Structure 1
């Protein structure tokens, strides 16, 4: 490989490293966003992401929850605790009493944020027992673990889950295509020079 080809390959690799490294470096910091929802029972889920790019906040989040009901009851302030289901999912340290609540979550770290939503808290009604006996084929069919609609939606809606690998793949593909085209042109030029 001649010097010009070595320089071009070096520039392409350096550019690729900068492009691939830039999203990871800029993914953290800045304002945060709180998504507050009831968990269907007696607690509140708070999903914390960066407002700029929607990436999960992996730093420790300091936040509190307060709530007021339509009949004048008040609840909190209660600190939020990290939930075991996700790195940027938080829950109130104490369960919310049954009823309709206007819930306010205030975060102070890693950035200030506030969100107020209406939440219904209470026991989940147990599903009624099936009245029909299963047929032999139904009894032998493997069962799937039930998934919550919110959990499934969270996996599908996570922009970081598929966006970053797809972008990286496209960038690598374009860089390889450019390198292949350059090598083909260099070979053609070399053949033309050697024929003279």
Structure 2
């Protein structure tokens, strides 16, 4: 009976594994990304399986990176799934204005890659990011013409209240005495049980 149960379980496991492998094999082992830009600098990368062009609905671990014509670089930025758009991914950050060569790559659930050239213009109504040259500079403090300030009086250190050495000895001493008494009782119980057993064996003889 046990052999039959084990054989049935093994057959079921094999069927599940083979079915999953067949489904993965139908999609292939390569992902293709089609990249576009929304106009506000955010990119959209649609992931499809290279074999049957079905959307990749699994969780994708991938990144986006880019190089601008002027040498600027971004990324790698983590891909984030787009809600209500299976197989579509974006990034939390947006591309700055410029002409970008963008590359999307994935490592899970399969290796994937996609490239595109995108031109991002300034988004209307958005202020440019302040550069280091436009950041406000804190003015240096003018040197004081007055004489040296008198030293502040030393603060009195708080005096620690005297602690009694016997404050915590009461509970700990009680615990120690209780443990000793319990150990003595256990030993006595063991000795009594051994004596009773010895007497029973003699009486049985």
TM-score calculated relative to the size of structure 2: 0.46
Rg larger for: 2
Q: TM-score, normalised by structure 1?
A: 0.48
**Greater helix proportion:** 1
Higher relative CO (CA 8 A, sep ≥ 6), structure 1 or 2? 1
